[in-house]
Amino acid sequence: MKKLRGLRRYYKNLAIHNDFERMSFLDFQNEPNAWFDRWHWHFDWNGLGDNNFKKRKPHLDKLFRHFEMLVEKVKYLKIEFQLFVLILDNHSSGDAIFLHTPNPNDIEFPLTWKNISEKCTLKNKNLIEYINQLNEYEKFYGIADEPFCILIKKNTGIQKILYQADFDGSNYLHSTK
């Protein structure tokens, strides 16, 4: 395995860099009717945190910092929306923030899930501890290809997600159309 160089700088930049800074389409003050079709953003593209929670935690910290930034931005949306985080048990590269609204692509809104509950399905003890300290979020768990957790900030967007839809292997998010 090739040794990765520049990781000290990489992790330092994780703590300070704002990925949303240059995304003008997230400026809802000027686009209050913007729409999103399961738009999402990952923070550990290379999966550095897959096998080591010490390497995963800074990516999760950044994900939740950006989630809070997005919470502030969506206050200007004039349409309903779903804003949530999807965290996979073992694949850090799959952890992401999602934003979904009614859209012209004929993707059903709101997105729905099947076989999720408030009972934790995760096996990763460090991840469970991390998620348990996030008190301002509703947490829903399920299993598809691997255990996962969906987190929704209380009083932000559509709150109740316990609808019924179908899962299809690795694709965790579906419409029912």
Mean pLDDT of residues grouped by 10 in the chain (177 residues)? Answer: 70 84 80 86 90 94 95 89 95 94 85 87 97 95 93 84 42 42
Q: What is the pLDDT of residue 159?
A: 66
The domain of 50 spans 26-153
Look up residue 52 and give its two tokens. 């080591």
Residue 89 within any structural domain of the chain: yes
Domain count, the chain: 1
Q: What is the pLDDT of residue 13?
A: 83
Q: What is the pLDDT of residue 174?
A: 40
Residue 35 within any structural domain of the chain: yes
Residue 176 within any structural domain of the chain: no
Residue 168 within any structural domain of the chain: no
Residue 39 within any structural domain of the chain: yes
Q: What is the maximal distance between C-alpha atoms in the chain?
A: 49
Residue among 89, 108, 90, 92 at smallest CA distance from 100: 108
Q: What is the pLDDT of residue 166?
A: 43
Q: What is the pLDDT of residue 167?
A: 39
Q: What is the pLDDT of residue 40?
A: 93
Q: What is the pLDDT of residue 164?
A: 38
Burial 6-34 (b: 16+ CB within 10 A, else e): eeeeeeeebeeeebeeeeeebebeeeeeb
Residue 8 within any structural domain of the chain: no
Per DSSP bridges, beta strands 147-153 and 39-42 are unpaired
Q: What is the pLDDT of residue 2?
A: 57
Q: What is the pLDDT of residue 3?
A: 61
Residue 11 within any structural domain of the chain: no
Q: What are the angstrom distances between the C-alpha of 50 and each of 121, 130, 162? A: 18, 15, 28
Q: What is the pLDDT of residue 152?
A: 93
